[in-house]
Amino acid sequence: MWAIAINPQSGRGKGSVVGQEVVEYFSRRQIQYQTFSGASADELKRDLESFLNANECQGVISVGGDGLAHLVLQLVVPRKIPFAPMPAGTGNDIVRTLGWSLDDISSYLDRVTQEAAQPIDLGNVDSEWFAAILSTGFDSVVNERANSLSWPKGPQRYNVAIAMELPRFQPLRYEIELDTDKISTEAMLIAIGNGRSYGGGMYVCPQAQINDGLFDVMILEPVSKVEFLKVFPKVYSGSHISHPKVKMMRSSKVKLTATAIAYADGERVGPAPISAECIRGAGLTWSL
Q: Is the pTM of this model over 0.85?
A: yes
Residue 166: phi and psi, rounded to 5, are -60, -40
240 contacts: CB under 8 Å, gap ≥ 6: 204, 231, 232, 234, 246
Query: Of 154, 1, 151, which is closest to residue 65 (Cα–Cα)?
Result: 154
Angle made by CA atoms 10, 12, 15, in degrees to the nearest 5:
40
| Residue 235: predicted pLDDT | 94
Residues with Cβ < 8 Å from 151, sequence gap 6 or more? 157
Do the bridges between strand 133-137 and strand 59-64 make them parallel or antiparallel, or are there none, so unpaired? unpaired
Q: What is the CATH architecture assignment of 130-283?
A: Sandwich (2.60)
Return the domain boundaries, the chain: 2-118, 130-283
| pLDDT digit string (tens) for the chain, length 288 residues | 999 999 999 988 999 999 999 999 999 999 999 999 988 999 999 999 999 999 999 999 999 999 999 999 999 999 999 999 999 998 899 999 999 999 999 999 999 999 999 999 999 999 999 999 999 999 899 889 988 888 887 667 878 888 899 999 999 999 999 999 999 999 999 999 999 999 889 999 999 999 999 999 999 999 999 999 899 889 999 999 999 999 999 999 999 999 999 999 989 999 999 999 999 999 999 998
Structurally, at CATH architecture level, domain 2-118 sits in 3-Layer(aba) Sandwich (3.40)
Residue 91 to residue 64: CA distance in whole angstroms: 10
Contact predicate 130/279, CB 8 Å: no
The sheet carrying 59-64 orders its strands as 33-36, 2-6, 59-64, 83-87
What is the Cβ-side half-sphere exposure of residue 73, based on CA atoms within 13 angstroms? 26
- What pLDDT, on a 0 to 100 scale, did the predictor assign at position 154? 67
Residue 162: its pLDDT value, please?
86
